[in-house]
Amino acid sequence: MNKYLVIGNPIAHSLSPVLHNYWFKKHSFLDSIYEKKEVEKKDLKKIVEQIKNDEIKGVNVTVPFKREIFDFIDSAPHEVQFTKSVNTLVKENNKVVGYNTDQEGFKISLEENDWNFKNKKVFIIGAGGVTPSILSSFIRLGGAEKIYLSNRTRSKAEELKKIWDKALGIYQMKKDTIEILDWEEKSELCDLIINTTSVGLKKDEKLNFDFSDYNNKKEALFYDLIYNPKETNFLKDARKRGNKTMNGKMMFLWQAHLAFKMWTGVSPIIDEEVIKLLD
Ligand code: ATR
């Protein structure tokens, strides 16, 4: 039996097993199974060893261990060494390699809606666990013109800016691309406004930014990484203003798709049925 895991804490609500087991069945990997496992920080080293010993074939890592697992892996591609955020573990040439498919998954989710990063102004709200991957997507994979960053705890946004300012030159981007705004401060009108915070996971939660100017920029896209609930207040308000909206479902699907492909060599199907699994 080939065993796969998603590890995190808490993990009860993860939909990754439903998705991967659907794909295993669909693509006739009848000897493969994907399970969720709640772990503590002290368990991370053993999980990596189990991959090395072939007891586990592949692992997805979710909050709060995407950063911590980095200390236990054998190697990682350049972009992961930068963000130190890992969501997929794969054994390659006897080494456990840590990848991050969130970055690429995010990019594909926009591109399949014909949205290109080039010369776009973006406003990123939040500086939590997933934000480095989003920033990396905009810088490494796309070349955004301007990136505003705002987090309730300003120092965390500043920390991210410090790391990424050093990388801007490598990607032919201007020194002042990233600008920190105070929490709930207005930015100039942007093309994409993205919520990377956890505000909205509970139905009555709401960000208190004033987005009323976007009444005059209907084509602006409001993207919430949350996909459950399907429509957070952030997205509901944007829809009412007539702006474009998108939730995090397709990013989640694509990051899973990319991990599945790394483990099996097969590009798993993304169809209506698989999209419904996440409802
Ligand atoms: P995780 O990595 O598990 O997603 P996290 O790293 O704590 O969790 O990130 C959560 C993000 O949501 C952070 O940007 C957090 O802001 P702080 O850095 O100030 O904590 C943000 N967040 C969570 N609850 C919030 C709230 N009530 N108001 C504003 N921002 C909030």
Stated pTM of the model:
0.93
Cα–Cα distance, 82 to 69 (Å, whole number): 14
Which tens digit of pLDDT belongs to each residue from 251-266? 999 999 999 999 999 9
Cβ of 126 less than 6 Å from ligand 1: yes
The predicted pLDDT at position 140 comes to 82
Looking at every residue in the chain, the average pLDDT score rounds to 95
With both helix axes pointing from N to C terminus, report the angle between 16-26 and 249-264 in degrees, rounded to the nearest 10.
50
Of 184, 197, 225, the one to substitute when testing ligand 1's pocket (max ligand atoms within 8 A of C-beta) is 197
Which tens digit of pLDDT belongs to each residue from 124-144? 999 998 999 999 999 887 788
Cβ of 128 less than 6 Å from ligand 1: yes
Q: How confident is the model at residue 167 (pLDDT cuts 50, 70, 90)?
A: confident
Which tens digit of pLDDT belongs to each residue from 21-39? 999 999 999 999 999 999 9
Q: Where are the domains of the chain?
A: 2-100, 103-249
Cβ of 85 less than 6 Å from ligand 1: no
Instruction: Report CA-CA distances (Å) from 197 to 80, 151, 175, 182, 228.
Output: 21, 8, 26, 15, 13
Which tens digit of pLDDT belongs to each residue from 110-120? 999 988 888 89
pLDDT > 90? residue 279: no
Fold match, 2-100 / 103-249: yes
* CATH code for the domain defined by 103-249: 3.40.50.720
CATH 3.40.50.10860 fits 2-100, yes or no: yes
Instruction: Read off the pLDDT of each residue in 93-112 and give the average, rounded to a whole number.
Output: 95
